[in-house]
Structure 1
Amino acid sequence: MTVAAILNGKGRDVYTEPSTRSLNEICSSLGGRRVGAIILCNEPGIIVGVVSERDVVKAISLEGPDVLTQPVSEYMTKEVAVCGEGDSVNGVMARMTEGRFRHMPVVEDGKLIGLVSIGDIVKYRIAQVEQEAKDMRNYIQAV
C-alpha cells in the first residue's frame, strides 16, 4: 500500500509555521495542537525545515531556558526527509525507523501536500492486519 491510502483516510491538512517564530511560540503551537513536530514553511507549501519536541528539549538542555526567545530557524532540522504519495507505507516506515524520526512530510512537485507520522502508519497497519484476519475468518467459514 502507498502513502496516498493514509492521506486519503486521515486528510491532507498540515499545520505549518514560518521559521521566523521563536522557540517559545513553537512550543505553544506544539502543545496547543497536541502534535510532536511542526513543518516550517516561509512560503506556502515550500518546506524550509521541521522542528520536533526533541529539538526543543535538546536546545533547552544545551543552552538553558533563554534559548526559547531565539528563532526556530537556529534549531530546526534543515535537511528534511520527505516522501511522495506513491511511496510504499513499508518503505516510509523503514526510513522513519532508520532515521529515528516520527514525522515525514509528503510532497508533490516540491510542494507540501500532507504529513504522515509513525502513529498514522501504525494505525493503518493495525487496520490492515485486522482486515486480513477478518477476510481469513470469512474464507475459512465459507470452506
Structure 2
Amino acid sequence: MLVRELLEKKGRLIHSISGEQSVAEAIRSLTEKRISALLILDDDRLQGIFTERDVLRCTVKFPDQDFAAIPVRDVMSTKLIVAELGDELAATMSMMIQADIRHLPVIDQGRLMGLLSIRDLVQQVVRSITAELHY
C-alpha cells in the first residue's frame, strides 16, 4: 500500500499554526483538538512541527517563562523527515521507527498534502492482518 492510499482513507485534514503563535496557544490547540502534533506553516509552506515532545522540551528549556510569551518557532522541530505520496507504507513505517518519530508530514512536489502518525500506520497494518485472517 502507498502513502497516498492511506492518506485518502484517513483524510487530509491538516492541523496547523504559525510559528509566531505562542506555545500556550499551541498547547491549547493540541488539547482542544485532541491531537498530538501541529504542523507549523508560514504562507502555506511547511516550516516545522510542534508535538507533545516539544512541550516537554519547552518546560526544560524555559523553566520559569510563561508559555504565552514563547513563540512556537523557538521550540518547534525544524529538521523534518517527510514522506511522499508514492512511498510504500512499509518503508515509511521503517523510516519513522529508525528516526524515532511519531509524526510524518506528507508532501507531493513540495506541497504539503497531510500528516501521518505512527498510529495511522499501525492501524493500517492491523486492518491488513485482520483482512488476511478472514480469508
> TM over 0.5: same fold?
yes
| 1:9 and 2:19 matched | no
Distance in 1, Cα, partners of 2:15 & 2:108: 17
Aligned-residue offset at 1:112? 0.6
The alignment covers a number of residue pairs equal to 134
Residue 133 (structure 1) shift: 1.0
Decide whether aligned partners of structure 1 residues 67 and 79 sit closer, same or farther in structure 2, where only a CA change above 3 A counts. farther
Which whole-Å CA distance do the structure 1 matches of 2:85 and 2:5 have between them?
8
TM-score of the pair, normalised by structure 1? 0.89
Aligned-residue identity in percent: 28
Hey, what does 1:90 align to over in structure 2?
90
Please state if 1:125 is matched with 2:125.
yes
Structure with a larger share of its residues in helix: 1
Gaps of 5+ in 2: none
1: CA distance, partners of 2:111 / 2:52: 24
Aligned to 2:103: 103
User: Corresponding residue for 1:66?
Assistant: 65
1:49 paired residue number: 48
- 1:34 matched to which residue of 2? 34
Give 3-state SS (helix, strand or coil) of 1:66's partner. coil
Cα root mean square deviation, aligned: 1.1
Please give the secondary structure, in 1, of the residue aligned with 2:13. coil
The structure whose Rg is larger is 1
Paired letter, 1:134 = H
List, as ranges, runs of 4+ consecutive aligned residues in structure 1 with deviation greater than 4 Å. none
Which secondary structure state, in structure 2, belongs to the residue aligned with residue 47 of structure 1?
strand
Is residue 57–residue 75 contact of structure 2 (8 Å, CA) maintained in 1? no
Distance 1:114 1:33, change over 3 A: same
Per the TM alignment, residue 85 of structure 1 is displaced from its structure 2 partner at its CA by 1.0
